[in-house]
Chain A
Amino acid sequence: MRVEITVNGQPHTREVEPRLLLVHFLRDVLSLTGTHVGCDTSSCGACTVLLDGMAVKSCTVLAAQADGCAVTTIEGLAGQDGLSPVQEGFRQCHGLQCGFCTPGMVMAATALLTERPDPSEQEIRNGLKGNMCRCTGYQMIVESVQWAAANGGAR
C-alpha cells in the first residue's frame, strides 16, 4: 500500500507492506537508524518518536497508521545552531552512557517539556516511565531534563 509520511519536514511517499511498523519504515526504508528497537512488547521506549507532536512508540504504530502524519525523529532535533536544549542537557549532565535508549529518551523528554515546561523531579520521572535505560539508573537523565527545562526547554 502507498503511504505519504512527512519525516523531519521531508515528505516521503512509499509503497509498503500493510504490516510494516513505523519504526522499520524509518530505519529500513528511510535509513533513519537513530530510532532504535529495544524490545518487542512496547515496553522499552527506545523507538519513541513524535507523531504530529505526540510521543509514540514507533514499534506500536504501523507505517499505514502514520499515513498523512508528520514524524519527528532524533535526526530532526538538532538544527543549524547545534543540539537542542534536551540533547545539550543530556551531554552536560551525562544523561547517557551506551546511547542506545538515548534517542527515545530524548524524544520522550522533548514531548514532556512541550507539555510541561517546568516539571518537578516526580513529573520528569513520571513522564519518562515508558522509557527504559539500563545504564544510568535515571538520576542523571532527570538532571539532564532539568537542565534542558532551565535552558530553552523543548525547542
Chain B
Amino acid sequence: MVGSALPRKEDAALLTGRGTFVDDIHRPGLLHMVYVHSTEAHALITGIDAEAARALPGVLGVWTARDFAGLPPRPSVPGLERGYLAGEKVHYVGEPVAVVVAADRYTAADAARAVRVEYEPLAVMATVADALAPDAVPIYAPLPGNLALEQQVTSEEVAAEVAAGLAAASHRLRARLVNQRCAGAPMEPYGVLADWTGAGPTVWATVQAPHRVRAEIAERFGLARHLVRVVAPDVGGAFGVKSSFMPELFLVPELSRRLCRPVKFVETRSEHMVHTYHGRDQQQDIEVGFDGEGRILALDVTLTVNIGGVPDPVGIGLATLTSYMLGGCYRIPKIAARYRSVVTNTTPTASYRGAGRPEASFLIERVIDLVARELGRDPADVRKANLIQPGEMPYQTSFEGIVYDEADYPAALDLLLDELDYAGLREEQARRLADPRAPLLGVGLSTFVEMGGFGPTPLFEQFGYLGGWESANVRMQPDGSVIVLVGTAPHGQGHQTALSQIAADQLGVPFEAISVLYGDTAVVQEGTGTMGSRGMPVAGNAVRQASAEVADQARRVAAHMLEVDADDLVRTGDGYQVKGMHDATVSLAEVAERAFKPHLLPEGTALGLENTSYFEPKNLSYPSGAHGCVVEIDRDTGQVRILRYVCVDDCGTVINPMTARGQIHGGVAQGIAQALYEKVAFDADGRPLAASLEDYMVPGALDLPPYETHHIETRSSFNPLGAKGLGEAGATAAPQAVVNAVVDALAHLGVRDVEMPCTPERVWKVMHDAS
C-alpha cells in the first residue's frame, strides 16, 4: 500500500460537517471565557475597573493577574518566567490583561468591552533598532536590557578561521537580508474547552502535542498525569503556532475548577492576529568569501531575531536551527554564526512552519544568487559548483551533530532545469527584455535542504519534550481488523491514511480494515506530537515496527494452528498457507480469534495480538529538493505574476503520492505568500497594522498559481522506512525561489535585492529607484 495514492480516511466526516473541532464541542452548563487585551504597546497598568462588566446579567466574573498569582508560571525561559495575564505593565498590543466568563459568548464579549483598563504609556520600542538604541529602556522586567540572548553558535576559533577565509578569498561581498514577520493563520483559531470534573480536568484543545500539554497542565496544578486528560480533536491547521503554551491552556481549566462548570475559549480571528504568536522576523547580516568560479569559501552570519514583548522559550532560541542549516546543500568549508534575540513591544514570536530553517534556506539561496550576480555567472552554474555530491552522503556539516542523510542534490537540480526548460526561459527573458512592451521575465532557483524528522531525544529534550521518539500501539481485533494508536497529533496531514498504508503492508491486512486513533491522552500511550516534519520519518517507523511485531505474533499462532514451524508458512491474500500445501491454510481472522483462546494455544502464550513500539530516530532527517519559479513583472505597476512554479522534492520514501502532493502544495503556497503577500507590520507606536484578515494578506485562489510537482526518491538510511518528512519543505523552499525570480527579472536595472513581501508598491519603488 505504501506508494499508493489512496483517498483519505479522514475525509468522510470532514466533508459532511461531521468533524469535531473544539468549538463544535458542547458540554452541559458550558460557560464562555473572553480576554480583555491590551490596547497599548508599552504601558503601566494603573487601574482596572470591572464593575460595569460584572454587573451585566449572565456574567460570572472578571479576573486579573493577581487572581492567578498562586498558579506557577507558564513554561518559560528559566529566569524569564511569564505569567498568564499582564500584571503591572503591558508589553505589546494584544497581551491579555483580564478574562471574563459569561453564560454565552455574546455576553462575554459585551462584558470584555465593558472592562475599563487605565494605562500610563511608556516609550514604545516596536523595532529591534529602537529596542537596542542607547536610550532604550528594558521592556521585560526580569531582563536588564532588551537583548534577551546573545549566542555564539560557533567558537571563537571558527570565527577566526572564517575571518581568515574571508580575507584570503579572491571575492567577497556583504548583504543584509530580512525575513519578515508572518502569522501562521490556520483557518481554525486557537480554542480550549476544559471541564474539571472530580479530581482533574479534561481539556479539549487545538494543540499539536497533547501529551506534552497534559504534562504541563498537571505540573501547574500539582496533579498526577493520570488525572489530566487532554484531547486534540480535529484541529483546523496549526503550522507550528499551536505548539506555543498560550495562557488559555491553563486559565480555562483553572476557571472550570473555580466555577465548577465547563468553560470554553475560542479565539476570534482579529484576536488571533495579535495574540497567537507570530513567526520568522529575522534580520540577517552576511559576509561571504568566494572564488572566481563562485565556490563559497567562508560565510559569516549574524542573525537578529525580534522575539516580541515576552520571551517565548522556543522563540528565543529558534535561530540556533537557522544557524545549523546555514550551509544549505552546499560544501562550505567554514561558517561562523551568532545570533541575538531581542525583546520589542510586539507580539511574541515562536514556531511557524519550518521554524528557523526556512530563514536559513532563504539566506543561503539568496547569497548564492548574489554571488552569481557579482561574478556575472548563471545562478544554476554557481549552485552546481557548490552542491554536495551524492557520494559524500551521509554528509557531516561544519556543525557538530548535523549530518545530512542520503540525497542527490545535483540530480534534483538537473531535473528541475529540465522541467523548467531553463535554457529556453533564458532566451525568452532576453527577448522580452528587448521589447519594452513585454512584461519582464524572471527565473528563480532554490536548491534547498531542511531539517525534519524531529528528532532524537537529546535534541528534543532541549525544547522541553519528554523525548524525540514516537509511539505506536497496534492491536489486531478478534476479527482480524486492526486499531492503531499513535502518539502524533495531526491537523490535516492525513496520518489516518498514511499510517494505515504502512501498517497494511506489514500486517497484510486491507487498508479498509485499519483504524488509526490519536490525539487523546486517555486513549493513546505516551506520545510526542506533530511538528518538525516528523510524522512519517518517526511515527511512520513506530507504526511499521509495532505492525511487524504483531505480524510475527500472528504468524506464530498460525504456525501452531497448522502444526508447522513459522518458517514453513507463506502469506496468502487473507491468511497463511503451509509452503507447497494448497489446502493447509488458515485465515487471518481465524488466527486473530485463536489468539484470544488460551485453551487452544501453547501453554504460556500471551493472549491477543498487540504491540507497543517506541521509535527513537538515530538522526534528524534532511528533506531536500530544487524548486524553480518563473515570474513576470508589469513594467508600469510592479505587479508580480507567477507564471510557473516547479517543484522537485526528495522526501525519501513517498507513502501516499496524493497527500504528499498536498503537503508540497500547501507549503509552497505559504512560501509564496511570504514572498509576495504577507507581513505582520506595526507602526512606530507598536500598533498592529495587520490585525485582521482584511489587513493581513492570506492569499486566495486567484493569488496563487498551479504547482508542478516532481519527486526523486532517495531513501534515508537512518530509518527503516527511508522517509524524511515533507510538511515543511515547501515553505522552506519557496520564498527564495520567488524572490530570486523577482530580482532576476530586475537585475538588468542593477537591482540586487527586493525585500519580502514583494508587493507591487515595493517592486515599483525598487524599479524606479534603480532606473
Contacts and interface: CB of A to CB of B under 8 A. Distances in A.
Interface of A: 17, 19-20, 24, 27-28, 31-41, 43-44, 46, 73-75, 77-78, 83, 87, 90-92, 94, 96-103, 106, 121, 124-126, 128-142
Contacts of A44: 187, 269, 693, 698
B701 A142 contact: yes
B700 A132 contact: yes
B664 to A, nearest CB: 9
A94 B13 CA distance: 14
Given A33-B24, A83-B16, A98-B186, A134 B694 contact: no
Contacts of A17: 106
Interface string B22-39: 011010000000000000
Contacts of B562: none
Given A34-B17, A43-B692, A87-B15, A98 B700 contact: no
Nearest to A74: B17
B542 to A, nearest CB: 22
B10 to A, nearest CB: 7
Contacts of A28: 104-105
A142 B10 CA distance: 20
A139 B665 contact: yes
A38 B698 CA distance: 12
Contacts of A138: 669, 700-701, 704
Contacts of A133: 187, 701
Given A74-B17, A87-B15, A96-B11, A140 B662 contact: yes
Contact of B702 (A27, A78, A97, A126): A126
B706 interface: yes
A135 B662 CA distance: 8
16 contacts: A36-B187, A39-B693, A43-B693, A74-B17, A78-B15, A83-B12, A94-B662, A96-B11, A98-B187, A98-B236, A100-B19, A128-B701, A129-B701, A138-B669, A138-B700, A139-B707
Contacts of B8: 91, 94
Interface string B187-198: 111000000000
Contacts of A31: 26
B588 to A, nearest CB: 28
Contacts of B670: 134, 137
A128 B11 CA distance: 20
A94 to B, nearest CB: 5
The 5 closest A-B pairs by CB, nearest first: A34-B17, A100-B236, A137-B669, A99-B14, A98-B492
A83 B186 contact: no
Contacts of B661: 94, 140
A122 to B, nearest CB: 8
Nearest to B273: A39
Contacts of B23: 27, 33, 36-37
Most-contacted residue by chain A among B26, B104, B492, B659 (CB, 10 A): B492
B318 interface: no
Interface string B146-159: 00000000000000
B10 A99 contact: yes
B658 interface: yes
A31 B23 CA distance: 11
B32 to A, nearest CB: 10
Contacts of B21: 33, 36, 100
A136 B665 CA distance: 6
Most-contacted residue by chain B among A99, A100, A128 (CB, 10 A): A99
A91 B6 CA distance: 10
A72 to B, nearest CB: 11
B698 to A, nearest CB: 5
Given A41-B694, A99-B492, A36 B706 contact: no
Contacts of B704: 137-139
Interface in B543-597: none
Given A100-B237, A135-B662, A91 B12 contact: yes
B492 to A, nearest CB: 3
A32 B16 CA distance: 11
B24 A96 contact: no
B17 A73 contact: yes
B493 interface: yes
B4 interface: no
Contact of B666 (A39, A77, A99, A136): A136
Given A132-B700, A137-B704, A46 B16 contact: no
Contacts of B234: 98-100
B692 A40 contact: yes
Nearest to A20: B106
B674 to A, nearest CB: 13
Interface of B: 7-8, 10-19, 21, 23-24, 26, 104-106, 185-189, 234-237, 239, 268-270, 491-494, 658-659, 661-662, 665-666, 668-670, 692-694, 698, 700-702, 704, 706-707
B11 A91 contact: yes
A129 B701 CA distance: 5
A92 B666 CA distance: 17
Given A100-B237, A136-B662, A41 B17 contact: no
A130 B694 CA distance: 12
A80 to B, nearest CB: 13
Most-contacted residue by chain A among B17, B670, B706 (CB, 10 A): B17
Contact of B15 (A19, A35, A90): A90
Given A98-B186, A137-B704, 9 more contacts: A27-B23, A34-B16, A38-B236, A75-B18, A77-B16, A101-B236, A137-B669, A137-B707, A142-B706
Contact of B188 (A87, A90, A98, A130): A98
Given A38-B269, A97-B662, A135 B24 contact: no
A130 B185 CA distance: 16
B187 A125 contact: no
Given A41-B692, A44-B693, A100 B186 contact: yes
Given A134-B237, A135-B662, A35 B17 contact: yes
Given A17-B106, A99-B19, A139-B707, A134 B185 contact: yes
A74 B21 CA distance: 15
B432 to A, nearest CB: 23
A124 B662 contact: no
Nearest to B25: A33
A128 B103 CA distance: 36
Nearest to A37: B23
Nearest to B497: A94
Given A39-B269, A75-B16, A100-B188, A94 B658 contact: yes
B693 A41 contact: yes
Contacts of A135: 187, 237, 492, 662, 666
Contacts of A124: 701
B665 A140 contact: yes
Contacts of B15: 74, 78, 83, 87, 90-91, 96, 99, 102, 106
Nearest to A98: B492
A2 B755 CA distance: 55
Given A44-B693, A98-B186, A98-B491, A131 B16 contact: no
Contacts of A97: 237, 492-494, 662, 666
B732 to A, nearest CB: 15
Contacts of A87: 15-16
B360 to A, nearest CB: 23
A100 B707 CA distance: 22
A2 B665 CA distance: 47
A101 B693 CA distance: 14
B284 to A, nearest CB: 26
B17 A134 contact: no
Contacts of A136: 662, 665-666, 669
A136 B8 CA distance: 14
Given A36-B188, A100-B188, A129-B701, A137 B668 contact: yes
Contact of B659 (A41, A46, A94, A98): A94
